[in-house]
Amino acid sequence: MKRFFKYPIIFIFLNILSSNAQVINNQSGYYRFQVGAFEVTALSDGTVPVDAHQLLHPEDPARIDKLLAEAFIESPAETSINAYLIKSGSRLILVDTGAGELFGADHGGALTSSLKAAGYLPEQITDILLTHIHVDHSGGLTVKNKQVFPNATIHVNKKELDFWSGQEKTTATPGATVNKPAFAVLKPYINQEKVRTFSGNVELFPGVSTLEYFGHTPGHTVYVLESGKDKLLFWGDLIHIAAVQLSGPEISNDYDTDKQKAAIQRQKAYADAAKSGYLIAADHISFPGIGRIKAKGNVFEFVAVPYSVLGRNK
Ligand SMILES: [Zn+2]
C-alpha cells in the first residue's frame, strides 16, 4: 500500500498561530467519571484552531461547510486537545500528554495545571500510554528542556517508536523534520531507558490493553480500559473534527501518514463503537471528549456522556 509522508500539521497550526492569537479563558480543565472500578479523569491541554478546509479534503469541499453549519461550528474549528488519567490501584496512568510548548504559548500546554486542579502532581504519574508520536500527543513530555513526568515509564507501540526514530536520522524525506519536535521531547526518556515498547494487541496492566489502529501513523494505538460491564476505548487520532468525519470517515485527512489505511480504520472504529455501544474518549472531540457513537443511516453521531457529579457514565 502506498505510504504518504506528509506532515503539514505543523504548517496548518503555525499559519493560524501567526494570525489569530487565542485569548485563554480559565475553563474547568478536568472531568472525572467512573469506568467500572476505575476512576478516569479527562484533562484539558487547551484548544487549537484548525482550518477544516486545510485539514480535510472531501471530493466536494462544500460538504465541509454544510456539515460544520449543521453542527453550528465555524471554521477554523476550535479543536480540543485532551488527555486522560486512569487511576488503577497504586498506578496513575496518563493517556497522551497534550502539546506542551510545541504549539507556542497561546495553544495547548495546560495539561499540568489541569492535572494539578484535579488533585495530582506530574511526579505522581507512574505510566504514560502514547497513542502515537505527534506534537499534540507526546508534546507535553518535556517542557523547557525538563522532563515533566520524571517518574513515569512511557509505553508506545514498537512500530511507532521505530518509525519516528528512523525519521530522526533521515534528512532526505521532504517534511521529515517537521514532526521532529514530537520525537525530541521523548528523547530524554529514551536516553534514561524509561520507554517501553509493545507489539500486537497486549494487556499492559490489569484491565488496560492495546489495540492496533495503524494508518494515522505507522504505530497508532488505541488503548482499551475494561472493568465489570464497562469498556472505554481511548481513540487518539481516530477523529479530529467530529462534525465532519463522523459523516465522512473516508474523507482524506492531511495528518494521516497512510491516508487510505487511516480512512479504513476510521470507518472500522466508528462502526464497531456504534455496534458495541462502549464508551470512547477522543483527544480532539470537544472536552471532555467522552461519549458513545451511534449509527444513523450510513453516518455516525457522537453522543456525549451526560454531565454527572457522581461520575456516572450513563
Ligand atoms: Zn492529534
* Environment of ion ligand 1 (residues, CB < 5 A): 136, 237
Mean pLDDT of the chain: 90
The reported pLDDT for the residue numbered 119 is 96
CA of 134 to the centre of ligand 1 (A): 7
263 CB-side CA count, 13 A: 13
The answer to whether the pTM exceeds 0.85 is yes
CA of 116 to the centre of ligand 1 (A): 23
Q: How far apart are alpha carbons 263 and 268 in whole angstroms?
A: 9
CA of 138 to the centre of ligand 1 (A): 10
Q: What is the pLDDT of residues 23-65, one digit of tens each?
A: 445 688 999 999 999 999 999 999 999 999 999 998 898 999 9
CA of 81 to the centre of ligand 1 (A): 7
In CATH, what class is 9-304? alpha beta
The reported pLDDT for the residue numbered 105 is 85
CA of 12 to the centre of ligand 1 (A): 13
Average pLDDT over every residue of 227-233: 97
In the chain, domain spans: 9-304
CA of 284 to the centre of ligand 1 (A): 7
Q: Which of 295, 296, 291, 293 is CA-nearest to residue 306?
A: 291
Q: How far is CA 72 from the centre of its chain?
A: 23
CA of 109 to the centre of ligand 1 (A): 14
The reported pLDDT for the residue numbered 175 is 52
Structure confidence at residue 171 as a pLDDT band (50, 70, 90): low
- Of all residues in the chain, the percent with pLDDT exceeding 70 is 89
CA of 282 to the centre of ligand 1 (A): 9
CA of 82 to the centre of ligand 1 (A): 9
